[in-house]
C-alpha cells in the first residue's frame, strides 16, 4: 500500500473522530446543530472511503454518488452553522443547489469534459459552502466567530483556486483516464482534509463556548424568575459601579408584602407564580444596561445606571402600581398583592453593599410606614449623618442567601 493511500485513509479516520467529538458535545448540550454536524462528518468519512475505493473508476454510476456525498457533507455543515447562529437552516435552498450541482456534474461526466468536470465538482461544493457565510451575518462580535467565518471563507476560496492551480501545473491534460494518477487526488484529499480539520476545531471551540456560557448563565440566573440571582446581581452591579464615571446610578430594592401569608393561604405553587410574575416585571425594566436580580426569597433589586434618585423613585412607583394591578392567576380570587420599595442613589467611592444597605434602610422605612409604598433614603432623618452599617456584605463566588426580614 502506497504512502498516498495511507495518507488518504487518514481523512476518514479524522472525520470519524470529529463526528464522535460533536456527538459527545450533543450529549452534553443537545441541539440540532451539533447533531447535524456530527452526521456531516460521518457522511464526509464515507465520501473519502468511497473515493479511495473507486478512484480509478470513470463510470457515471460511481463518480456521481461520490460527488453527491461530498456535496451533502458540505450542505449539512452549512445547515449546522445556520442552526447554531440563526436557529433555522435553509434546507430548501441547499437542496435546490445540491440538485443543480449534481445535474451539471453528471452532464460533464457524460460528455467527458475532463478538467471542467473536476472543476465543477469542487466549485459546486464551494458555492454550497459559501451559503454558510450568510449564517454569520450580524454575528461577528466575538473573536472566535470571526475566526470561524474567515476559515470558512478560505475553504470556499480554495474550492475554486486549487483545481485551477492543479490544472495549470499538471503535466498534460486532466482526463477521466489519468484523473487518479495526477496530483489532483492527493491535493484534494490534503487540502479538503486540512480545511475540515481546521473548521472542525473552530466549531468544537464555538460549541464548547456555548456550553460554558450556559453553565455560567445557570450559575448567575434565578431559575424561577429568569433574572439574575444574588451572585449575578453582585457581579453585574459591581461592573456597573466601576464603569459609572460621572453618571448617576440608583438602586431600587423591593420586598413583597406579607409573602408568608400568601404561601400559607394560597399554597406554594401560587407563591411561586407571584415570585415569577414580580421577577418578570422587574425584568421588563432591566434594559439599556440596567440590572435586575432576585436577591433572596421575595426580595428583589434593580440597579439603574444613568438614572438619578428622583427618576428611580418614579420607576419604583410605576412597578408598585403595576404589581398591585397584576392578575397572577386569572379566575382565581386572591387578596391584592403589594410590595414595598426602598430607593438610594450611589455615592462616590461607595461599594455596592453600602449602596444596598442605604436602599435597604429606605425599604425598612416603607415597611414601618404601612407597606405598599416607595421610600427614598433621603427621606430618613439623619441618614447622611449616621455611619452606614453594612447589612449586605459583599459576596464571593458562592451565592449568599439573605434572611427573610420583612414579611
pLDDT digits (tens, 9 = 90+) for 231-276: 999 999 999 999 887 899 999 999 999 999 888 888 888 899 999 9
The answer, yes or no, to whether residue 365 has pLDDT greater than 90, is yes
pLDDT: which is higher, 354 or 118: 354
pTM (2 d.p.): 0.62
* pLDDT score of 39: 96
Judged against a pLDDT cut of 80, whether residue 69 lies above it is answered with yes
The pLDDT-based confidence of 7 (bands split at 50, 70, 90) is low
In whole numbers, what is the pLDDT of the chain averaged over residues? 84
Mean pLDDT calculated for residue range 53-75: 87
Q: Give tens-digit pLDDT for 119-150.
A: 888 899 999 999 999 999 999 988 999 999 99
Domains and CATH numbers, the chain: 3-220 (1.20.1070), 230-379 (3.30.70.270)
- pLDDT band of residue 165 (cuts 50, 70, 90) is confident
Per-residue H/E/C for the chain:
CCHHHHHHHHHHHHHHHHHHHHHHHHHHCCCHHHHHHHHHHHHHHHHHHHHHHCCCCCCHHHHHHHHHHHHHHHHHHHHHHHHHHCCCCCHHHHHHHHHHHHHHHHHHHHCCCCHHHHHHHHHHHHHHHHHHHHHHCCCCCCHHHHHHHHHHHHHHHHHHHHHHHHHHHCCCCCCCCCHHHCHHHHHHHHHHHHHHHHHHHHHHHHHHHHHHHHHHHHHHECCCCCCECHHHHHHHHHHHHHCCCCCCEEEEEEEECCHHHHHHHHCHHHHHHHHHHHHHHHHHCCCCCCEEEEEECCEEEEEEECCCHHHHHHHHHHHHHHHHCCCCCCCCCCCCCCEEEEEEECCCCCCHHHHHHHHHHHHHHHHHCCCCCEEEHHHCCCCCCCCCCCCCCCCCCCCCCCCCCCC
Residue 222 clears pLDDT 60, i.e. is over it: yes
* Residue 401's pLDDT band (cuts 50, 70, 90): very low
The pLDDT tens digits of the residues spanning 167-185 come to: 676 655 555 555 555 555 6
Per-residue pLDDT, 326: 81
pLDDT at position 393 is 47
**Per-residue confidence (pLDDT) for residue 389, from 0 to 100:** 46
pLDDT band (50, 70, 90) for residue 117 = confident
Report whether pLDDT(392) > 80.
no
Amino acid at each position: 500500500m502506497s504512502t498516498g493511500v495511507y495518507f488518504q485513509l487518514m481523512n476518514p479516520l479524522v472525520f470519524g473522530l470529529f463526528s464522535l467529538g460533536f456527538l459527545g458535545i450533543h450529549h452534553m448540550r443537545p441541539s440540532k446543530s451539533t447533531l447535524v454536524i456530527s452526521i456531516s462528518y460521518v457522511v464526509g468519512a464515507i465520501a473519502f472511503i468511497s473515493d479511495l475505493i473507486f478512484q480509478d473508476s470513470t463510470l457515471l454510476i460511481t463518480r456521481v454518488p461520490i460527488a453527491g456525498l461530498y456535496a451533502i457533507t458540505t450542505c449539512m455543515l452549512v445547515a449546522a452553522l445556520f442552526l447554531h447562529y440563526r436557529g433555522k437552516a435553509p434546507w430548501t435552498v441547499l437542496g435546490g443547489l445540491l440538485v443543480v450541482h449534481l445535474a451539471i456534474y453528471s452532464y460533464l461526466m457524460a460528455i467527458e469534459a475532463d478538467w471542467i468536470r473536476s472543476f465543477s465538482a469542487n466549485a459546486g461544493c464551494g458555492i454550497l459552502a459559501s451559503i454558510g457565510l450568510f449564517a454569520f451575518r450580524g454575528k461577528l462580535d466575538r473573536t472566535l466567530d470571526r475566526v470561524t467565518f474567515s476559515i470558512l471563507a478560505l475553504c470556499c476560496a480554495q474550492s475554486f483556486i486549487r483545481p485551477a492551480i492543479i490544472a495549470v501545473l499538471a503535466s498534460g491534460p486532466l482526463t477521466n483516464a489519468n484523473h487518479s494518477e495526477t496530483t489532483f487526488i492527493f491535493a484534494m484529499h490534503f487540502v479538503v482534509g486540512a480545511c475540515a480539520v481546521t473548521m472542525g476545531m473552530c466549531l468544537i471551540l464555538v460549541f464548547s463556548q456555548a456550553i460554558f456560557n450556559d453553565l455560567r448563565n445557570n450559575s448567575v440566573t434565578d431559575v424561577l424568575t429568569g433574572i439574575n440571582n444574588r451572585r449575578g446581581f453582585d457581579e453585574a452591579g459591581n461592573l456597573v459601579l466601576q464603569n459609572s464615571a460621572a453618571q448617576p446610578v440608583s438602586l431600587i430594592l423591593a420586598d413583597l408584602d406579607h409573602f408568608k401569608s400568601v404561601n400559607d393561604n394560597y399554597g406554594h405553587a401560587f407563591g411561586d407564580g407571584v415570585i415569577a410574575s414580580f421577577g418578570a416585571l422587574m425584568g421588563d425594566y432591566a434594559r439599556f444596561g440596567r440590572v435586575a436580580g432576585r436577591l433572596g426569597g421575595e426580595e428583589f433589586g434593580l440597579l439603574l445606571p444613568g438614572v438619578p434618585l428622583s427618576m428611580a423613585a418614579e420607576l419604583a412607583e410605576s412597578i408598585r402600581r403595576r404589581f398591585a394591578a397584576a392578575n397572577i392567576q386569572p379566575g382565581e380570587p386572591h387578596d391584592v398583592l403589594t410590595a414595598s420599595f426602598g430607593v438610594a442613589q450611589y455615592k462616590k467611592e461607595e461599594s455596592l453593599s453600602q449602596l444596598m444597605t442605604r436602599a435597604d434602610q429606605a425599604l425598612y422605612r416603607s415597611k414601618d410606614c404601612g407597606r405598599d409604598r416607595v421610600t427614598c433614603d433621603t427621606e430618613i432623618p439623619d441618614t447622611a449623618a449616621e455611619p452606614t452599617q453594612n447589612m449586605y456584605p459583599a459576596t464571593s463566588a458562592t451565592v449568599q442567601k439573605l434572611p427573610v426580614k420583612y414579611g
